Amino acid sequence: MGSVWSLVANRSSEVETKPQGESSKRQRSWLGEEGERPRLIPGLPDELSIGILARVPRIWHSNLKEVCKTWYHVLSDNEIFELRKELGLTEEWLYILMKNREGRLLWHSLDPASGRWQRLPAMPDVACEEELDQGSASLGLWAAMGSSSIKFAGRVKGWFWRNIGRDRVAFCGCSTGAIDGCLYVLGGFSRDCATRYVWRFDPRKGLWTKITSMSTARAYCKTGVLNNKLYAVGGVSRAQGVLVPLQSAEVYDPVADFWAQIPSMPFAQVRVLPIALLADVLKPIATGLASVRGRLYVPQSLYSWPFFVDVGGEIFDPANNTWTQMPIGMGEGWPARKAGTKLSAIVNGNLYALDPSSSSTGCEIKMYDHEEDVWKVVMERVPIVDFTESEFSYLLMGFQGNLNVITKHVNGNVVVLCADISATAVSSSSNFPSSTPPQITHSNPNPDTPGWKCIASQNFGSVELVTCQVLDV
């Protein structure tokens, strides 16, 4: 404990020796000039008080901010979160986007330590860029409803050959990402046009902020993070009343607040016969994205309702700024949800996917073997309920070093299930464990079943799952 207080004291002393520095300015903005304000905690030096506040779990910050204005500013400033990072006190929270019966989209966060949920502030209302260009001042309700985990069937039926109705929900088809402890929401539709807007939620301040827009208006794009930069790949846009797929991609630098174009996906496999014969009917789209081993892995498909054809995928390497073809086994074996959406999760550097169709008894968890170019089953009988009436029956996420499946229980609760994959996260040259798969019924997953644990369960009413992200703050 003495060494921890020494760290805080040293940090404070460094600030005091640089009165013209940014840290000194922040400290004065927090606390005011000496003699003009009371101590943060009566009877204690302020550097100790800041150290104490830094140790309070984040779930209580909203309560502490109501104590006084000084505490509010201290707990909203990035510096105290930098101190938490130095002390190893950051916390991973799970953020889930849900759509309620009225079509509104709501974010909820889960603190796994306390098991408590919090509801985020509503996302801002925005106007469609095309409508603004035409002089319209009307605002569309932001009801973002999609991401890399969107289900294409039904929602995008007839994408490429139908006009978009003006009664569409605003910002349908947005995508999400997470960088430096902030949540990002990108693009989507507003009424009958795609948008370039990007909004950032900072949990430290509890605020949504509009940042620099993407260079291209896009909906249903795929997102990934590499080298602390956010990539937006593919998606669809609107041209002459119909939706057209995008091959373009771009990258966001949060430090410079700037979007830059990267080379477009070549979709080289589409030009190979006999697939080329279908190019005039089926349009190429990116159906997933995984950021692993310093590159972006993008599975691709040809799609036009009700036809769907896998065409492998492509890999983007930021080191040389080029796209290459995805290994055949990876592209052809990448498990797909209904209508081909391909979810994935990265845990301890390994790429996982949930295959809802390969097992006669239910779903399987597969891991990709980079050396052998095959997908291998590592867990069977995943305890999810396949709600045929629901657009989004499950989500997949790496959280706290484990693979997590988020789904809805038969009682309507949203449940977060954790799979212990530590025993299966082995090198490709090793044999996978031959342990008996957990015996889990699909109608009533048992939290105590070996291999699976329910870490959270909450009833949010009649909601559908849209997407999820993890923030470490």
pLDDT tens digits for 144-173?
333 333 333 333 333 333 333 333 445 678
pLDDT tens digits for 184-206?
999 988 777 889 999 999 999 99
Q: Does a structural domain hold residue 75?
A: yes
Q: Does a structural domain hold residue 411?
A: no
Q: Does a structural domain hold residue 270?
A: no
Q: Does a structural domain hold residue 25?
A: yes
User: Please, are residues 297 and 352 in contact by the beta-carbon 8 Å criterion?
Assistant: no
Structure tokens, 461: 């009413």
CA–CA dist 448, 390 (Å, integer)? 26
Residue 298 has pLDDT above 90, yes or no: yes
CA–CA dist 363, 96 (Å, integer)? 22
Does the predicted model carry a pTM greater than 0.85? no
Residue 113 has pLDDT above 90, yes or no: yes
CA–CA dist 359, 381 (Å, integer)? 8
pLDDT of residue 405: 93
User: Please, are residues 174 and 194 in contact by the beta-carbon 8 Å criterion?
Assistant: no
pLDDT of residue 162: 35
Residue 388 has pLDDT above 90, yes or no: no
Q: Does a structural domain hold residue 346?
A: no
CA–CA dist 451, 419 (Å, integer)? 6
Residue 261 has pLDDT above 80, yes or no: yes
Please state, rounded to an integer, the average pLDDT across all residues of the chain: 77
User: Please, are residues 93 and 58 in contact by the beta-carbon 8 Å criterion?
Assistant: yes
Q: Does a structural domain hold residue 73?
A: yes
Residue 25 has pLDDT above 80, yes or no: no
Q: In the chain, how many domains are there? A: 1
pLDDT of residue 386: 58
What are the DSSP calls for 1-70, one per residue? -HHHHHHHHHHHHHHHT-TTSHHHHHHHHHH-STTSS--SSTTS-HHHHHHHHHTS-GGGHHHHTTT-HH
**Mean pLDDT along residues 323-333:** 94
Structural domain for 32, as ranges: 2-86
**Cα torsion angle, 66, 182, 467, 451, sign:** negative
Residue 85 host element (H or E): helix 78-86
Q: How far is CA 230 from CA 253, 324, 361, in A?
A: 7, 20, 38
Percent of the chain with pLDDT over 70: 70
CB atoms within 10 A of CB 263: 12
pLDDT tens digits for 409-445?
878 899 999 987 654 443 333 333 333 333 333 333 4
Q: Does a structural domain hold residue 309?
A: no
